[in-house]
Structure 1
Amino acid sequence: MTGLPGEPMGPIGPTSAEVSGAPCWVNLMTHDIDAAERFYGAVLGWSFRPTRLGPAFRVAEGEGVPVAGIGAQAGTFSVAVAWTPYFAVADADAAVSRIRERTGTVAVGPVRFEGAGRGVLAADPQGAVFGLWEGRVFADWLTAPRAAPAWVELRTRDAFAAAVFYGEVLLWATGESGCCDVSYERDRIVLRHDGRVVARLDGGPAQEASAEPVRRPHWHVHFRVAELDASVAAAAAHGGDTVAVDPSPGPEGRFATLRDPEGALFDVWEPPATPP
């Protein structure tokens, strides 16, 4: 629940109501924040700044733009070390009610962060963890061309059931100003905000009780990098490992799935030289 988008560490942009339903932040809960800084600084080229919440909470910046939060509180909140996306909502209380009505789980919140907004940590019916944010969001987070996450992706067993759940909770495709549009493309569900792809929902062989995190339903974050091979090598040099890597460029560029030293999964993406 730390390093949320209302932290006054960058230009504050629209309210969550104006980007309703869109991902507006990603956050890592870890045990060793200094080690996480070294790892992600090397792999993604980030720098880090403190927040007003104390030394256990940091905001990561890429090219001067706040891109993610990192907190050394995984043990305190008894949560797994993992990346979690936060979605913008106009009313956190109403969204929490919609989660519970649809058999999701609310673990924390709404928690008020004075002068910033309110946050919620929840899980969908298939067990994927996500967050909600009501308040101001960073102006550049959704539009930064290189520094912010490229998109977030839900890897789950039943993408259509998940789309119904998230669509009803986050009010996707309502036609109201600022909401997200949903389409079905290439066997996956695609979420767009203002014409830009911001999330995907993929169904597949996810297993609820699997001991391997990559196979459990979860939200997966894709980060842009300039050189994929350099990021993969930096991950190995700083205690991470590679779960999968594309050997050659495809029409959408190259991808690698990495695991940080504490087990958090994420993707790095090298865009194609010529956009598809």
Structure 2
Amino acid sequence: MPTRNTPWPAGTPCWIDYGASEIDAAKDFYGRLFGWEFEGGDPEYGGYLNATRNGEPAAGLGPLMDPGDSPGWTTYFATDDAAATAARIREAGGAVVVEPMEVGPMGTMVIAADPQGNAFGLWQSGQHTGYRVFNEHGSLVWNEAAVDDPAAARGFYTAVFGFTWAEVPGAEGYQTFAIGDRMLGGLGGHQPGSPKGWTACFAVDSTDEAVATVESGGGKVTMAPMDTEYGRFAVVEDPWGAPLSVMQPPSGS
């Protein structure tokens, strides 16, 4: 089980959380899909929960900060200085929606949007260093964004995080982003009918079983399972319309 218990390097997608309109129903759906257990829920943190695998944090789940928003997943990038990164977001044309906010001793969070309106977060870790389990069933395996103007988006995220980019051959302009030699995620053009903005991809033991669990739980499949060189992949929506993807890594990987 790959784990990490120290802060993630700046610019790394380090946490994901879900804003829920129905907390108990979301716990049930995602608990069955990913085998999650839940810790926390203290009133002082607004009922926020950590979803865990084998006792290690994999993701967060909490009530929607604005009840008028749609349920969905937020990707957070690690930062060593939330205020300085928030300043770079503004300088690059983005918006800071929630100013740097200390979450007790856990860390400092920011909610922002790029110039095209795609939301993301920042996390400056304190006691909570982000996800501690990854690349196994029920944990994060990949983050990517689908945007209207990929070139402009690459410029923005490079200015904010210092990313470098590499085009994936035959992938219609899709590019991966990295810091140094660490590949961190991907970004490409938005296709009508597909999720827009930042989405999270979760590792699963069986993509077909995960898709069946989504459908039996009231969700739907928006891209049927398909085999790729990276694994068997599918895009789904939960019962509240929030997109996510699942990936069964190739055997032996």
The TM-score bracket by the shorter chain reads: 0.7 to 0.9
Q: Deviations over 1:194-216 (max 9, x none)?
A: 7553210112436xxxxx6x35x
Structure 1 residue aligned with 2:166 = 183
Matches within 5 A, 1:33-72: 33-52=23-42, 53-54=44-45, 56-72=47-63
User: How far does residue 73 in structure 1 lie from its aligned partner after superposition?
Assistant: 2.4
Normalized against structure 2, the TM-score is what?
A: 0.87
Q: Is residue 2:90 matched to residue 1:100?
A: yes
For residue 242 of structure 1, the aligned residue among 206, 216, 221 is 221
- Tell me how large the CA RMSD over aligned residues is: 2.4
Q: Is residue 2:244 matched to residue 1:266?
A: yes
Matching residue's letter, 1:155 = A
User: How far does residue 168 in structure 1 lie from its aligned partner after superposition?
Assistant: 0.9
Alignment size in residue pairs: 246
Q: Deviations over 1:122-154 (max 9, x none)?
A: 111111110011123756837634153101000
Q: Moved runs in structure 1, 4+ residues, more than 3 A?
A: 51-55, 136-145, 192-197
Instruction: Tell me if the contact between 2:231 and 2:250 (Cα under 8 Å) persists in the aligned partners.
Output: yes
Instruction: Tell me if the contact between 1:56 and 1:72 (Cα under 8 Å) persists in the aligned partners.
Output: yes
- CA distance in 1 between partners of 2:150 and 2:32 (Å): 34
User: How far does residue 262 in structure 1 lie from its aligned partner after superposition?
Assistant: 1.1
Matching residue's letter, 1:93 = A
Cα 1:225–1:204 change in 2 (3 A) is same
Unpaired stretches in structure 2, ≥5 consecutive residues: none
- CA distance in 2 between partners of 1:194 and 1:152 (Å): 18
Unpaired stretches in structure 1, ≥5 consecutive residues: 1-9, 174-181, 207-211
Matching residue's letter, 1:87 = F
- CA distance in 1 between partners of 2:146 and 2:47 (Å): 30
For residue 187 of structure 2, the aligned residue among 179, 198, 201 is 201
Instruction: Tell me if the contact between 1:66 and 1:138 (Cα under 8 Å) persists in the aligned partners.
Output: no
Q: Deviations over 1:235-264 (max 9, x none)?
A: 1111111111134x3322111111111111
- CA distance in 1 between partners of 2:153 and 2:95 (Å): 14
- CA distance in 1 between partners of 2:45 and 2:106 (Å): 15
Matches within 5 A, 1:136-155: 136=126, 141=131, 144-146=134-136, 147-155=138-146
